Amino acid sequence: MNQIGILLPRSTYYETIGFDMFEGLRSGLKHLGREDIKIFSENIGFGTDQQNCYRITERLLMQENLSVVFAFVSHRTAQLMRPLFIATNRVLIVLDGGANMPQEWPDCPNILFHSLHNALGNWFAGKKAVKDGYSKVGVVSGYYDGGYLQTYAGTLGLMDGGGEVVFNHATGYKRGEFSMLPLKEFRDQHSDNAMLGIFSGDFVQWFFDELNTHFPGEQLPIYLAPFALEEKLLEDAAFPGENVYGVAAWSRTFDNEENKHFVRSVEEAGWNANLFSLLGWEAAAMAIALLELMQEHKNNGREAMKAFKQKTFDSPRGTIRFHETAQATLTPLYEATLIEKEGKCDLSITGTIQIEEVESAFEKMIAIPLENAISGWYNSYACI
């Protein structure tokens, strides 16, 4: 049957997150000529009520007889759903911000993670800082962002490049408790170090405001993970200086046909072309392929997934392909720098981290034992 399900989140600082994701999916299906595919959407809030997510998914599989479900959920919620998808032999595609390490993803032939790879991007940001000559690097993060293993991934990237972390600071959760004063005190004694910044949403703008307050005109070297380089957020962020670099997952300026179709289609529908609508757009091509494979394999999700992982997909951010052994997609990442635009920020892409290098780093990351490194967050990344 031509129908799919999608579990949509909500967020206080990405207010349109669910709408953006849904519109990306709807516009993608329309662009591919498959408006006949019916979408069953369910709101799961911040994703913290795991039992509710389970009940909603169970109903979609049983009452609506869906064979393919997409969900923006945390790795822990995906783990809870693992027995459900094994028992029904249906397929779950987790649309993932990529804030946790792949070792925490459930290993299941019926579940696949399609990620924005924030942790992997932070790995490359850490490596770039060392490559640029900063062997001793500090880590600063938002209270929320720092609770995910993307922080650890940045540390691993630093170490892989031969560097080390010499300072850590996690900010408060509220604007009045968000301060970079500890960073200033550290920099007064160690002015030759760079900083690895891990922020999303409003925290990005707060971070740049604090940099301008405590380091006016100082050009503090900062390296950022992908979610801090979301272009719609940067439009309203005060420019913090010329030495701000990072690794981006995507840019609206990419000059490929798929990206042009994506940006135009979503914006003509009245929504934003951003990281979340990008996930929805990419899910559309996956949905079509999976529905065809589920029909071919008589709704045998394990067999359909084997065939699915042999495919590649054209995306606004480059070619999507699948890791040979891990249940995960891989895409290129992009080196970037911030530039000033009327006192605010704009993004300039300066280089491409090719998918072969992304795969090599991904394999290094999944081979490193987590030991005592864990994430304490249950909600979906960016949903709070």
Distance (Å, rounded) from C-alpha 224 to C-alpha 114? 21
Residue 108 pLDDT > 80 = yes
What pLDDT was estimated at residue 53?
93
Q: Residues 220-234: pLDDT tens digits?
A: 899 999 999 999 999
The residue among 229 and 144 whose pLDDT is bigger is 229
- CA 80, CA 277: separation in Å to the nearest integer? 26
Q: Which of 9-13, 51-55, 91-95 has the lowest mean pLDDT?
A: 9-13
Band of residue 366 on the pLDDT scale cut at 50, 70, 90? confident
Encoded tokens for 89:
């032999």
Its pTM stands at 0.95
Determine the pLDDT at residue 376.
Answer: 66
Cβ neighbours for 63, distance < 8 A, ≥ 6 positions apart:
none
DSSP state of 144: T
Please report the pLDDT score of residue 204 as a whole number: 95
For residue 371, pLDDT over 80 is answered with: no
Quickly tell me which residue has 């170490």 as its tokens: 159
pLDDT band with cut points at 50, 70 and 90 for residue 133: very high
Mean pLDDT for the stretch of residues 156-161: 92
Task: Answer whether 121's CB lies under 8 Å from 171's CB.
Answer: no
pLDDT tops 80 at residue 13: yes
Q: Which two tokens stand for residue 177?
A: 């408790």
E-only strand ranges, 46-110: 68-71, 91-96
Round the average pLDDT of the chain to a whole number and report it: 93
Q: What percent of the chain has pLDDT over 90?
A: 82
Q: Look up residue 193 and give its two tokens.
A: 């170090």
**Mean pLDDT for the stretch of residues 101-108:** 81
Q: Is the pLDDT of residue 116 over 90?
A: yes
Residue with tokens 């957020």: 233
Helices 355-367 and 118-131 meet at what angle, rounded to 10? Answer: 100
CA angle 286, 198, 270 (to 5 degrees): 45
State residue 300's pLDDT score.
Answer: 98
pLDDT tens digits, residue range 235-245? 999 999 999 99
Q: Judge whether residue 378 has pLDDT over 80.
A: no
Q: Which domains does the chain have, with CATH numbers?
A: 3-117+254-330 (3.40.50.2300), 119-248+333-354+362-367 (3.40.50.2300)
- Per-residue pLDDT band at 373 (split at 50, 70, 90): low
CB 130 within 8 Å of CB 137? yes
